[in-house]
Structure 1
């Protein structure tokens, strides 16, 4: 297989960007609180130490954080690097990012609102600008073009992480209830494509695997909204029937305890890093 095969197989429908923005606006409150937890802090410290051990985060570094969310990684980098730029598709995520940076009294972070998929490096002056281009669990790295754009923005190193395995027991049961079948799990597809695209483009990514476990806890009304959005994105529109919303609300209402829906997620995450 050549790179043309993976470029053709690994594509994203850019017409979904508005829906993607709405989804991450919905998740902003949760992400801000989760990423501010002790567990989130330990995970970020592990990543920072990993990058430092490979000389990818020098003291004078300029860092680009793609899909920065509420800015937790950007803040970690800003304590060590010279300057950090964080971008995200969600305005609400960036509101939290700005608040968190101000709380830490950091003036070497710049946040920008933009989907990575459509960002023009030349227009921003970002070609070969950054010592480290970083994307942690970022859905914006979803095609060969968006991946290789990371390389084009970097003058030294890149880091990408993503799921290779994931078990969402409640969501899988909900999918079975709504659509009458198990979901088509595609965890690991992006990492598989990324490794092959990088290799065939002349890069040599190092791969490290991490086990992760976390909990989702939502009020029932928030859970209905989020799971409804996720299931409809997982299933082609032609397969969505008119009673989907009713089925989702009914199922989650039955499993909720005192108005709270909980789910434990177990996963394996790949860390990819490479020099450019």
Structure 2
């Protein structure tokens, strides 16, 4: 497969951007409870340390930063850091957390990586390290290539691959959506693009299990908006999803156990 073939096949899948924003805004309060990541607890941060991607003179960009847990941890180890996310609610929480932790060398911006012009935003070839960890910001060849365009040093991309989401999969099946938005092909395409460019990307793997607990209202926002990123749904379909979620409720909560392999790809531009 040529580079042109990969770029043609690896296109953005999200059909409804606002539904995606609404979904992540609704999840922001849950993410606010997460503490900033630490070197001792995070294999991801240990990877950055091992390959000396962080140093006191480094500038870092965190694409799809969410509530800034990694951005603030990284800022403690470098000169300055910028976190970008298209969810305004996530960004507001990130700003509050950085202020609470008195981290002054970090900036958070609400911006859509799919649409941002790096040159106009002053981000082109500005950073010693660009990371995109567990984010929908990188879902196409164009958004992937932007990582290298923003970097003058290292880039790191982490995706949840070989992932099984039992509740989400059942909800999509209810409304006839068979396509899975897995990141397996994203990682394959990313590797091939870098290889064709003469670079030498490397991989790391980490097995994870996540247990989610949501109130019915939180679950409606999460699963209905997730479906709406694929296509619009009717009021009957929306009610069918709500009825299904109610049917699996236990002790007032809707739970989901997710198994995944976190695949991290890293390269030097």
Normalising by structure 1, what TM-score?
0.90
- Provide the residue aligned with 1:260 in structure 2: 253
In structure 2, C-alpha distance between the alignment counterparts of 1:43 and 1:264, rounded to whole Å: 25
Q: 1:190 aligns with which of 186, 196, 201?
A: 186
For the 8 Å contact 1:61–1:81, the answer to whether it is kept is yes
- Provide the residue aligned with 1:211 in structure 2: 207
For the 8 Å contact 2:61–2:83, the answer to whether it is kept is yes
Which structure's residues are more often helix, by fraction?
Answer: 1
- Provide the residue aligned with 2:16 in structure 1: 16
For the 8 Å contact 1:163–1:191, the answer to whether it is kept is no
State the shift of 1:185 in Å. 2.7
In structure 2, the gaps of 5 or more residues are: none
CA RMSD of aligned residues (A): 2.0
Q: Map of 1:67-146 to 2, 5 A cutoff? A: 67-146=64-143
State the shift of 1:124 in Å. 1.9
Q: SS of the counterpart of 1:123? A: coil
State the shift of 1:231 in Å. 2.5
Q: SS of the counterpart of 1:124? A: coil
In structure 1, the gaps of 5 or more residues are: none
For the 8 Å contact 1:44–1:73, the answer to whether it is kept is no
- Provide the residue aligned with 1:246 in structure 2: 239
Q: Map of 1:222-233 to 2, 5 A cutoff? A: 222-233=218-229
Provide Cα deviations, 1:7-58, integer angstroms capped at 9, x if missing partner.
011111676333322221111112222x338xx6579622111111111112
Inter-CA distance 128–67: structure 2 relative to 1 (3 Å threshold): same
Inter-CA distance 262–64: structure 2 relative to 1 (3 Å threshold): same
Normalising by structure 2, what TM-score?
0.92
For the 8 Å contact 1:83–1:109, the answer to whether it is kept is yes
Provide Cα deviations, 1:80-122, integer angstroms capped at 9, x if missing partner.
1110011110110011000110111011001111101111111
Q: 2:153 aligns with which of 138, 146, 156?
A: 156
For the 8 Å contact 1:63–1:83, the answer to whether it is kept is yes
Greater relative contact order (Cα < 8 A, sep 6+):
2
For the 8 Å contact 1:219–1:261, the answer to whether it is kept is yes
Q: SS of the counterpart of 2:131? A: strand
Inter-CA distance 18–229: structure 2 relative to 1 (3 Å threshold): closer
For the 8 Å contact 1:213–1:264, the answer to whether it is kept is yes
The ranges of structure 1 where at least 4 consecutive aligned residues each deviate by more than 2 angstroms after the TM superposition are 13-20, 40-45, 170-176, 183-186, 231-234
